[in-house]
Amino acid sequence: MKKTISVILAIMILLSVAGCGEKETLLSKDDPVTLNLWHVYGEQADSPMNRLVEEFNKTEGLERGVVVKVTNVTSTSRISSQLIDSAEKKPGSLEMPDIFSCHTNTAVSIGADNLVDWNGFFTKEELSDYVPEFISDGTLDGKFCVFPVSKSTYTLYVNGTGFEKFSQNTGVTYDDLATWEGFFDAAEKYYNYSGGQPFCALDYLIRHVELDVMAKGDELTYTEDGWYDFTDPSLKESWMQFAKALVSGHIIVSDLYANTQMMTGEVLAGIGSSAAITYFNDTVTYPDNTTENMDLHVLALPKTGMGSEYMPQTGVGLAAYKTDDKKAEAAYVFIKWFTQAKTNLDFVASTGYMPSNNAAYDSISEYEFINEGYKRLYEAIHTMSESYVPVVRPAYDGYYDKVNVLYAYFRENRGEFVNRINKGESVETLAEETWSFFAGIK
């Protein structure tokens, strides 16, 4: 009798252990859960993210009972305020999405407690498939809230056809653009060569100043309210070299995106996010409607050449608004599928990002890109990955509002600075003036 009971108990224990092998799921194929998604990939253009979402809905989503519905394709500059407005239910705001692209600082504003902690879904083994630094970027108060889908950096884009002509006339080569010194020199030469056209548009001027300070071996300091310490001489030193080029009209702060100004022929080059590759046209169109092949060249960021070089590591991740367990699991299913090696590689290779999945990261060099521009982009990213130190720049509350004031100042005074120089004012004086304005932003 005792033996029989022992056998029954053993069978029951074995069965219960076998049952533990499979995760219990709240999802049902017959009753799919819908997730609204906001993202920032391919705004106004062809969105690779939308195509992958469509593929997910037809495959994994169909099997697991998850439907992802893209309800807003916006930009990194707009999504933060849109999310915060929605989270605060401001009048006129959209309904808060279930999954969304967001920066870590946006996640802080929304509140880690309001977001799904991915640690509750991904096992340690699963998380080991991802670049560890990317994961730590998305962790808030011990909660892994922002899942790294991809990361971008900044690269230098050049209109190859235009540069070729410029190069033939001035002897400036792509190699000259490897350092900021060579870059500014080339910008001046282009300005003269083109009869007053700026050489390059910068999307994120202030970040280049920051990285230059760091590359010179100085520590960048911030005030308590999250703005720069203007008593720091190294900050001014770095600022001034950019300011001189700006007031001289050799380079400009982009009107919105550098790539658009390259397409209109306003500038020969632009420095912007690696993800901007998606938005480039094949041609440059001038006001007389003549066009030329863009022959897009993508180069690594110019180096300061005085120590370690730094590359910004930017880009949003995916977070999920905490509503119910079923939606949280559905979000996990989507993100796991979306960041698996192949999908992650397909996605980043068509959007100009760096993959978050280790296997995708390792195989990107063998990927067959859709055109030469993409290939050159990943060669540039590869070069930077080899010799630059990736850094995540902080963004304090209200930081971007101040930066936008600064950028608007340069846009408004672009022509005015050049006029004043033409009237005899020195570049140094105007550069000092910009420094004063910069330091005066509160």
Partner 1 sequence: MKTQRAFSYEEWPMKRKLFAYMLILGAILIISFFIGLLIFGNVSTPERTMSEALGLQMSVYEKDVLTHFEYIAAAGINLSEDMSFLMNRFLSARNISFDDLADNEELIRQLQNEMISPMRQSLLQEDCSGIFVVWDTTVNSHISYSNESRTGMYLQINGYETANPSVLLYRGLSDVGKNNNIMPHRKWNLEINTDMFDEYFSLKDSSTPYDEAYVFSSIDRLPGTSESAMHLIVPVRGSDDVFYGICGFEISESYFMTYHAQPSSMAHLSCLLSEFTESGAIEARRSFSCGVLNGYYRAPGGVLTYSKAGKDLYSYKGDSPEYIGITKKISLSPNNKDHLLSVMVLKSDYDSIRTTSLLKNSLLVLLLLFFTVTCSMFFSKRFISPILKAIDEIKTDSALLSESTVPEINDLFEFLSKKDTLHEKDLNALTQKTEDYLNEINRLESEYEKAKAEIARLAYSRKQEVDPENYKLFLEGINTLTPTERKIFGYYLSGLSVKEILETAKIKESTLRFHNQNIYSKLGVNSLKQLLRYAALMENEE
Q: Which residues bind partner 1 (CB under 8 A)?
A: 30, 32, 34, 42-47, 50-51, 57, 67, 69, 71-72, 74, 78, 82, 91-94, 255-257, 259-260, 263-264, 266, 279, 281, 285-290
DSSP assignment, residue 136?
H
Least Å distance, CB 153 to partner 1, is 20
Kindly state the smallest distance separating residue 125's Cβ from partner 1, in Å. Answer: 32
To partner 1, the closest distance from the beta carbon of 285 in angstroms equals: 5
Our CB check for partner 1 shows the closer of 85 and 237 to be 85
Q: How far is CA 309 from CA 31, 178, 185, 274, 297, in A?
A: 52, 12, 20, 17, 21
Provide the token pair at 217. Answer: 């071996």
Helix axes 399-412, 427-440, angle to 10 degrees: 150
The nearest distance, CB 90 to partner 1, in angstroms, is 8
CB of residue 91 to partner 1, shortest distance in Å: 8
φ and ψ at residue 364, rounded to 5 degrees: -65, -25
Least distance (Å) between residue 112 CB and partner 1:
26
Closer to partner 1 by CB, 76 or 238: give it.
Answer: 76
Query: Least separation, in Å, of the C-beta of 278 and partner 1?
Result: 8
Phi, psi of 129 (to 5 degrees): -80, -10
Nearer to partner 1 among residue 267 and residue 364 (C-beta)? 267
Q: Is residue 86 a contact partner of residue 97, using CB atoms and an 8 Å limit?
A: yes
3-state SS class at 151 = strand
Q: Return the closest-CA partner of residue 67 out of 37, 101, 96, 112.
A: 37
**CA–CA dist 98, 37 (Å, integer):** 6
Cβ 357 vs Cβ 341: under 8 Å: yes
Angle (nearest 5°) at CA 217 between 231 and 252: 70
Q: Which is nearer to partner 1, 40 or 384 (CB)?
A: 40
Q: How buried is residue 28: exposed, middle or buried, by Cβ count under 10 Å (0-12/13-18/19+)?
A: exposed
Looking at beta carbons only, is 138 or 162 nearer to partner 1? 162
Which is closer to partner 1, CB of 97 or CB of 138?
A: 97
CA distance 220 to 222: 7
The sign of the torsion formed by the CA atoms of 228, 230, 231, 237 equals positive
Min CB(172)–partner 1 separation in Å: 26
Complex with partner 1: residue 74 or 314, whichever CB lies closer = 74
User: CB of residue 47 vs partner 1: minimum separation in angstroms?
Assistant: 6
Smaller CB distance to partner 1: residue 123 or 289? 289
- Taking the complex as a whole, the smallest distance from the CB of residue 400 to partner 1 amounts, in Å, to 17
Tokens of 130: 């991802």
Q: Strands 317-320, 99-102: parallel, antiparallel or unpaired by DSSP?
A: antiparallel
Nearer to partner 1, 222 or 286 (CB): 286
Angle between helices 233-247 and 205-215 in degrees, nearest 10: 140
Element housing 35 (H / E): strand 33-39
Residue 117 or 266: which CB sits closer to partner 1?
A: 266
Q: DSSP assignment of 275-343, as one string?
A: GGGGG--SEEE-TTS-EEE---EEEPPPB--SS-EEEE-B--EEEEB---HHHHHHHHHHHHHHTSHHH
